[in-house]
Structure 1
Amino acid sequence: MDLSDEQWLASWRSEQKPQPEGWSFSDLETRMTETPVPWDIDLVYRTALADATSVLDMGTGGGEFLLTFANSLPRDTVATEGWAPNVLAARRNLQAVGVDVVEYSAPDEDVDSLPMPFPDDRFDLVLNRHESYSPRELARVIAPGGRFVTQQVGGDEAHEIGQWFGEHAELPHVNLAHCARELEEAGFEVTEAEEHVGKYLFNDVAALVAYLQLVPWDAPSGFTVDAYAEDLLALHRETGGGPVRLTQKRFWLRAVLCA
């Protein structure tokens, strides 16, 4: 399509929308793809839930993912969420299955600075999907012999954003080796772990802009189409108006708190 720079910018501005409640990329289903991870996190969760009696789901978002395990959840299941609009959505979605939602999130820059709002030895299983956590606090709230299961986004994922826009928040310590070592130092035994490097493929710059509205923590500060117009136009020219690729990084692990 032969458009002027201003016409391209106008089309990209239409992608700027408020971040929705919950945690869903359904609006981008036909506009982006990502490499499937080689493990089945649904099966990992369901297997872990099979004999659990007291469960915490950390960073539940709007509760959508936890709801897929509704028939496997024990009566004593609690969730946490740190983003206020999602707290409301999660409470609304999870109340039907009797799951309380507590507002809490460990700060990325200092995970030990905010204690988890639970007593010692409270849970025998903690699930965590893409949420920051304190190994020390986990060791406190998980009962001896209890388990921790997490899937994480690598802290240097999507590093290309920094190359394109001159800024990208990264957490280089968020990788499998470092996280496993920290858990072991806190008293856990890591019993299974795996990591993966893949890619995200966006149809075009417009799809990338839409994606960055959903994950503002991946976007440069103050990201808008107008603020980064020249960078977006340069990327559009570099890709010939076609697909845009980002590096995807994932890892997961299962750990048991030593008695």
Structure 2
Amino acid sequence: MRKTEEQLVASWRAEERPQPEGWDFSDLADRMTESQVPWNLTAIYRASLADATSVLDMGTGGGEFLRSFGDALPPDTTATEGWSPNLAAAREALGPLAIEVLEYTAPDEDVDSVDMPFSSNRFDLVLNRHESFSPRELARVLAERGQFITQQVGGDEAHELEAWLGHHRELPHVNLATMRRELETAGFQVVEGAEHEGAYEFRDVAALVAYLQLVPWETPDDFTVDRYADQLLALHRETAGGPVRLTRKRFWLRAVRQ
């Protein structure tokens, strides 16, 4: 490689780091932007919590988002998290609120394969932000007329990575229409929802590499800067060293168990 390319690869290599605890993109605040969805999930959560007596937060991450509702949470609030590095962070964040955090996740490839660690009719509100779930198990642990509110990442988000890296894990069934149908089959009425397509914009390839450290499931299993240097250099040339854009997809819905 020419010296300038060697320097580029070295700068990208400096962005490599272990996946951190929690769910925090603040370190990239001045290096990336992302489209905002037209709904206000915070307001939606707060409105639903007003009448809730028993709450489950699925996929709480490091507990940061749930903790922000601390003044609105009922005493009977529980959380789950399936990404093991986040468990300790979530328990530390939510412990002062007396919120138990249990290890649980529904595998994307077979969401019905693991039972939720709760009794039937346990909750009257289940919150879920970007976490896979089993509609069947959800119907079991929610009480009659209980609410389920979720925001999800579209399964074909960031599809550009397929062309750039030669691989991208996609879940084409993760979309509003399919999720609505599966929930209705499980005994829910979907009462509202919406979807949105926008974009991420990264200042340069270095910012993209930094972002990919936080979402390793978006990259090939063997992804490192050195292994994919040729592909990253090609992307750098394609963008003339400037911004890199990825498709961003989100959808949300509210469903009531019948």
Give the 3-state SS of the residue equivalent to 2:18 in structure 1: coil
| Counterpart for residue 14 of structure 2 | 14
| Counterpart for residue 128 of structure 2 | 128
| Counterpart for residue 162 of structure 2 | 162
Q: In the alignment, is residue 213 of structure 1 matched against residue 213 of structure 2?
A: yes
Aligned residues: 257
Runs of 4+ in 1 over 6 A off after TM superposition: none
Determine the C-alpha separation between the residues in 2 that align with 1:223 and 1:32: 21
- How far does residue 3 in structure 1 lie from its aligned partner after superposition? 6.1
Q: What's the TM-score, normalizing by structure 1?
A: 0.98
| Counterpart for residue 29 of structure 2 | 29
The code of the aligned residue for 2:204 comes to D
| Alignment RMSD | 0.9
| Counterpart for residue 248 of structure 1 | 248
Determine the C-alpha separation between the residues in 1 that align with 2:17 and 2:175: 31
Alignment of 1:1-259 (within 5 A): 4-258=4-258
Percent of aligned pairs with the same amino acid? 68
Determine the C-alpha separation between the residues in 1 that align with 2:91 and 2:38: 32
Task: List runs of 5+ in structure 1 lacking aligned partners.
Answer: none
The code of the aligned residue for 1:44 comes to I
The Cα offsets for residues 16-58 of structure 1, whole Å up to 9 and x where unpaired, read as 0111110000110000000000000000000010000000000
Task: List runs of 5+ in structure 2 lacking aligned partners.
Answer: none
Determine the C-alpha separation between the residues in 2 that align with 1:17 and 1:217: 15
Determine the C-alpha separation between the residues in 2 that align with 1:49 and 1:222: 42
Give the 3-state SS of the residue equivalent to 2:199 in structure 1: strand
- How far does residue 84 in structure 1 lie from its aligned partner after superposition? 1.2
- How far does residue 221 in structure 1 lie from its aligned partner after superposition? 1.8
Determine the C-alpha separation between the residues in 1 that align with 2:58 and 2:112: 15
The code of the aligned residue for 2:191 comes to T
Give the 3-state SS of the residue equivalent to 1:65 in structure 2: helix
Give the 3-state SS of the residue equivalent to 2:163 in structure 1: helix
